[in-house]
Structure 1
């Protein structure tokens, strides 16, 4: 394999993989840690309101997940190209995507250009969710690149839930 995966390296999902809560412990830890950090940040603004908490949560979450991808850009890109619709056609997008997440993280944490940030999030995560749905329907068994190549969590409905969760929060920030 030589450290590089191709779309031919994906296989049909093992029936047992992704069925145990322990398979998702790294993800649960990061989501929970992001929520605690967001609460602490929002609480630093004197009182926690939903908008401040959501900005802090999305900023911390996207920062952590961007860094996991950046730790091994080649490893992330190798997995991402297996299911992301744009990365399949333009491989360089797999190298750029973590930096898009990083930019969004900073924008959320800084409350910078909020409307642009929300719309960009809607676009990025809607498009990403479509690729995940297609991969899940094909039954592909790959590690979710959402956590980079650092942690091994199967691509699953949890991945889809993450994309949809970011999408829904951005829509709430836009319209509520």
Structure 2
């Protein structure tokens, strides 16, 4: 569909994909809703775009990818990509700040900033839709299951601790908060995944993520505990 106020993103993706695979593409536009509805009725399909190769209909975006041997991700498939992207971004930010302020990327402060930046970014992911986060979080967090408001408080505590660590300020607040939420989180994840053997999605990257609950979430909580203990002795 190529209309005045809408260009189909999947159409652009399919066209690029076919051209990238060395196909010569004849791009036929559906310029009005009437044309689109008529095309769907004629071809007995529910969506556009539709790919035809040598006069034979292949199908829509996903079917075209499968035809070309490309992966098609299921919308509910689990993936570690969101948290890996967050941790990688936080690491690059920490190294950049360390270089800018201390003239060296490999410093103790860089490690502190990495954990703090990770906490802040993860908190932002949760705060984008705090109700969805709370719903998923309640599925495994032991304290939240006993006191529901904790599910809404958690992201703010994580953000507060992260910001204070970045500033190296008010350790008497950041240390207890990080230690509390990190310890409860680690125990909850270990109990749900390794004791009860449950297969759950992790709320660490927000309530709409498909990150599996397990090693990554446990690592996040252990990082907070380690940071809190480090702050006590430095």
Band of TM-score, shorter chain: 0.7 to 0.9
3-state DSSP of counterpart to 1:141: coil
**Structure 2 residue corresponding to 1:88, chosen from 145, 166, 176:** 145
Distance in 1 (CA, whole Å) between partners of 2:91 and 2:229 is 19
Greater shift, 46-55 or 144-153, is seen at 46-55
Greater shift, 69-78 or 133-142, is seen at 133-142
What residue number does 1:42 align with?
98
What residue number does 1:132 align with?
189
Name the structure, 1 or 2, with higher relative contact order (CA <8 Å, separation 6+): 1
- What pairs with 1:82-161 in structure 2 (closer than 5 Å)? 82-136=139-193, 137-161=195-219
In the TM superposition, residue 115 of structure 1 has moved relative to its aligned partner by: 4.8
Distance in 2 (CA, whole Å) between partners of 1:146 and 1:26 is 10
User: Do structure 1's residue 171 and structure 2's residue 220 form an aligned pair?
Assistant: no
What residue number does 2:109 align with?
52
Distance in 2 (CA, whole Å) between partners of 1:50 and 1:169 is 15
3-state DSSP of counterpart to 2:157: helix
Number of aligned residue pairs: 155
TM-score, with normalisation over the residues of structure 2? 0.61
Q: Give 5+ residue unaligned stretches, structure 1.
A: 1-21
- Cα RMSD of the aligned pairs, angstroms, is 1.8
Structure with the bigger percentage of helix: 1
Residue 39 of structure 1 contacts residue 53 of structure 1 at CA under 8 Å; is this kept in 2?
Answer: yes
Greater shift, 80-89 or 162-171, is seen at 162-171
What residue number does 2:26 align with?
none
What residue number does 1:23 align with?
79
Q: Give 5+ residue unaligned stretches, structure 2.
A: 1-77
Greater shift, 157-166 or 130-139, is seen at 157-166
**Structure 2 residue corresponding to 1:71, chosen from 128, 132, 137:** 128
TM-score, with normalisation over the residues of structure 1? 0.80
Q: Which has the larger radius of gyration?
A: 2
